[in-house]
Chain A
Amino acid sequence: MDRGIGSGGAFAWFFQRISGVFLLIALLAHFWVLHYSNNGDVTFNLVAQRLSTPLWKTIDLTFLVMAIIHGFYGFLMVIRDYVHNHNLRLVLVSLVWTVGIIVGVLGTLTIIAFKAPGGGGL
């Protein structure tokens, strides 16, 4: 019988809670900054200028990493719950990791490389 001894899960569970709290606060902050801090006047230039600053790049990178880990760990949980075939599980877990890493790398490149049109920022 597969008793799963030693495979753990404590850190993943704990980190899911931490990232969940972070995302809750970050999402509320995101809504406030985007929709209320400028009287609802959202323009491309405004967002571009903000995303060009090192502080916002750091905040968005953290947001991205936390959201990816939180979301893709959720996928892994569903696979662990319902997929008991070893080979199928290996394929699906590999797929989740691959897609997660691709999304993470693309998002990171986008944030780091972003420059506001007409100069300014990094």
Chain B
Amino acid sequence: MIRSIPAAAVTRAVAELCVKANRELPPDIVQALKQAAREEPWPTAQGTLSVLVENLSAARERCLPICQDTGLACVFIQLGQDVHIEGDLARAVDQGVRQGYEEGYLRKSVVADPLRRGNTGDNTPAALTVDLVPGDRLRLTVVPKGFGSENMSALKMLKPADGVEGVRRFVLDTVRAAGSNPCPPIILGVGIGGTFDKVALLAKHALLRPIDRPHPDPYYAALERELLEAVNGLGIGPQGFGGRTTALGVNIETMPTHVAGLPVAVNVSCHVTRRASVEI
């Protein structure tokens, strides 16, 4: 049976998710931030983390975006194969971004051309990723991505001989080079495997998973813990002013790759790692 979903329903959902994601962090991130504020041993860092927690309440109470960089709207759709969209899906998503960013008093941060610039004025287009999945449901996730952290992301085609040690070195080098720029405490999405293009998408997908849910494979769950500990040994600390809490979480996603390759990508995200989902 084919199930029909009007494009207007997608537009409405995207608009609401844009506003929600920008005002309220997901529970796993809030929890991690509060826990870090309790456990941070360095006094100035502890103070900084408390201010960040306070900012979350201020945003909620005053209906303000948590951060003024309300991001480029990354939209992920898991589209059931038995769904028929009545209308143009990509246009419906852009229309949702347009409405959400206007209604929510969110900042319009998109330029029409990477070199010639020029603000599009409505935060469109979205960065849309569609995955076909079995079933007749449509799952929408909106991830408004700020560029203070996006700019610090990096990708490298390692050699197979570099192995897990090479991955560890690249992740730490990326975080060290980012320093205070991506508004630590950060969250890292790490992609390993695939191809040049797929590994970047893996890293972004890794940021969609709650940071309190480890990788299902114990090998990678252990690597996530180990990388988090190593990053928090660098001393960068909240805002780069020094301290233990440089990162709140490290998520890894992997896929098979070529015999000759070991692609790795690190998508850096700040403490305002936003995501909101709905199923239609």
Answer yes or no: do A and B interact: no
